[in-house]
């Protein structure tokens, strides 16, 4: 009898985790709370429980003989949902509240890296507009402005001019755009290089790296427009050398997980490292305490082992096994509502998308139609991600855009250049 898993979350990241768990033999039932109607097309059950209602989720897990829980989004992790499940005797895959600070506070993550000599951009942290503004003017641009707390991937400005930097500081400190997340601001040196994402399964001092990927944060083609939660990704990233990936593992991932153990906040779950390959070697842009989105939607389709068996082994103190398809490339392109990320216009009809066995649609911001015809309606910014597999970047890119360019995307938009950085490198 396979295991029964409860997944917390509702986006495309949770969709691909659920679908990957069901592909393996160790898990035969997955419930997503709250999930979305698009997931149900893959046989994933959903339950309308809020990720912030820990007591109701614990009750559901107990009543439904859930073997273990996977937590997708950052907010419940930072609110201590793993601590609450564990207090109730339920195994949960993810970091506890103390360890989740590595994402919950950029200042905490920066201080941790500074204490342990982990390569990252030079920085200063500020709690008032005047001092931050003066520092930016004296320091010069380009410069990076980050709200300290959670801002759904939108609290970072790479300012190329003083005016842009000052506007970013004003939005955070004076307009309170990110609320309490902007009580502090981290101002960093701008780093040159190609970015890449390196995610690892972690248990204390032990970790198992995944293949790298590259996200596309800006809304529009050519890296134009505002920062988003991510408009698409691809894996692997051929322009990042194996030597750079090894250096990242040796100088960043290993020292970070060991530092957290040494400081009494051991990490268990998925550690996401957003990195940049500089002339001086890889450096940390940010850490997340969970799977990246949309990177997960292009990395997990390359997994050839049983995800549920691997995660269960980590939870139970056993040795996990993770194997990957090294011969193909995956690309994922996000379809978003017009106006995303700043002024989302929801309500567009979500087109039916036909893919062969080398592709998949992972749903995020969708709801069911009011008249019960089984159609899906765009309900938030990022609506879905179309993922395809090919022999290389060019092949996977050609396949995904052949699909997207043939459908009616009225009220929706997507980038047309996901993966092109690899082709241009």
Q: Which segment of 88-102, 235-249, 369-383, 387-401 scores lowest on mean pLDDT?
A: 369-383
Q: What mean pLDDT is reported for the chain?
A: 94
Average pLDDT over residues 221-234: 93
Task: Give the pLDDT confidence score for residue 197 in this predicted structure.
Answer: 98
Apex 360 CA angle, 354 and 361, nearest 5: 80
Decide if pLDDT at 409 tops 70. yes
Cα gap 61→92, rounded to integer Å: 11
Average pLDDT over residues 275-286: 95
CB 168 within 8 A of CB 160: no
Cα gap 227→147, rounded to integer Å: 13
> What digits encode the pLDDT tens for the residues 328-380?
999 999 999 999 998 999 999 999 999 998 999 999 999 987 676 779 999 99
Bridge partners of residue 155, in order along the sequence:
none
Find tokens 């959903």 and name the residue.
Answer: 46
Average pLDDT over residues 104-108: 90
Task: Give the pLDDT confidence score for residue 153 in this predicted structure.
Answer: 60
Give the homologous superfamily in CATH for domain 122-189.
ATP-grasp fold, A domain (3.30.1490.20)
Decide if pLDDT at 154 tops 90. no
389-395, long-range: CB < 8 A, 24+ apart: 389/301, 389/328, 389/329, 389/330, 389/358, 389/359, 390/328, 390/329, 390/330, 390/331, 390/358, 391/327, 391/328, 391/329, 392/329, 393/234, 393/238, 393/329, 393/331, 393/419, 393/422, 393/423, 394/423, 395/329
Task: Give the pLDDT confidence score for residue 280 in this predicted structure.
Answer: 94
Residues above pLDDT 90, as percent of the chain: 80
Average pLDDT over residues 159-187: 85
Average pLDDT over residues 304-308: 98
**Domain positions in the chain:** 3-96, 122-189, 329-424
CATH of the domain spanning 3-96: 3.40.50.20
Decide if pLDDT at 184 tops 90. no
Cα gap 252→273, rounded to integer Å: 9
Average pLDDT over residues 87-111: 95
Average pLDDT over residues 39-60: 96
Residues above pLDDT 70, as percent of the chain: 98
Task: Give the pLDDT confidence score for residue 152 in this predicted structure.
Answer: 66
CATH of the domain spanning 329-424: 3.90.600.10
């Amino acid at each position: 009898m396979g295991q029964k898993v409860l997944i917390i979350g509702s986006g495309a990241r949770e969709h691909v985790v659920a679908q990957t768990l069901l592909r393996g033999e160790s898990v035969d039932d997955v419930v997503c709370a709250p999930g979305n109607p698009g997931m149900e097309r893959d046989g994933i059950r959903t339950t309308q429980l809020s990720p912030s209602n820990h007591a109701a989720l614990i009750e559901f897990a107990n009543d439904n003989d859930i073997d273990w829980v996977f937590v997708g989004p950052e907010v419940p992790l930072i609110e201590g949902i793993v601590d609450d499940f564990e207090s109730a005797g339920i195994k949960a895959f993810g970091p506890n509240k103390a360890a989740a600070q590595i994402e919950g506070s950029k200042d905490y993550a920066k201080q941790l890296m500074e204490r342990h000599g982990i390569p990252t951009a030079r920085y200063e942290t500020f709690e008032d507009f005047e001092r931050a503004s003066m520092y930016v003017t004296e320091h010069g641009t380009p410069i990076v402005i980050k709200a300290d707390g959670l801002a759904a991937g939108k609290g970072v400005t790479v300012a190329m001019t003083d005016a842009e930097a000052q506007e970013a500081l004003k939005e955070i400190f004076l307009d309170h755009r990110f609320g309490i997340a902007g009580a502090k601001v981290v101002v960093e040196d701008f780093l040159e290089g190609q970015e890449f994402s390196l995610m690892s399964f972690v248990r204390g001092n032990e970790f198992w790296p995944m293949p790298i990927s590259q996200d596309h944060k800006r809304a529009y083609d050519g890296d134009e427009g505002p920062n988003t939660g991510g408009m698409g990704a691809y894996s692997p990233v051929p322009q990042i050398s194996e030597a750079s990936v090894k250096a990242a593992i040796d100088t960043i991932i290993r020292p970070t997980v060991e530092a957290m153990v040494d400081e009494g906040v051991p990490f268990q779950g998925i550690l996401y490292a957003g990195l940049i390959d500089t002339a001086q070697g890889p450096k940390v842009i940010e850490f997340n305490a969970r799977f990246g989105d949309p990177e997960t939607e292009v990395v997990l389709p390359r997994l050839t082992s049983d995800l549920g068996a691997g995660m269960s082994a980590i939870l139970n103190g056993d040795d996990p096994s993770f194997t990957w398809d090294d011969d193909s490339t995956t690309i994922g392109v996000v379809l978003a509502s017009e106006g995303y990320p700043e002024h989302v216009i929801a309500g567009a009809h979500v087109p039916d998308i036909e893919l062969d066995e080398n592709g998949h649609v992972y749903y995020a911001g969708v709801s069911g139609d009011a008249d019960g015809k089984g159609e899906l309606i765009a309900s938030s910014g990022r609506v879905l991600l179309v993922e395809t597999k090919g022999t290389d970047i060019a092949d996977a890119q050609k396949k995904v855009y052949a699909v997207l360019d043939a459908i009616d995307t009225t009220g929706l938009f997507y980038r047309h250049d996901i993966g092109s950085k690899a082709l241009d490198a």
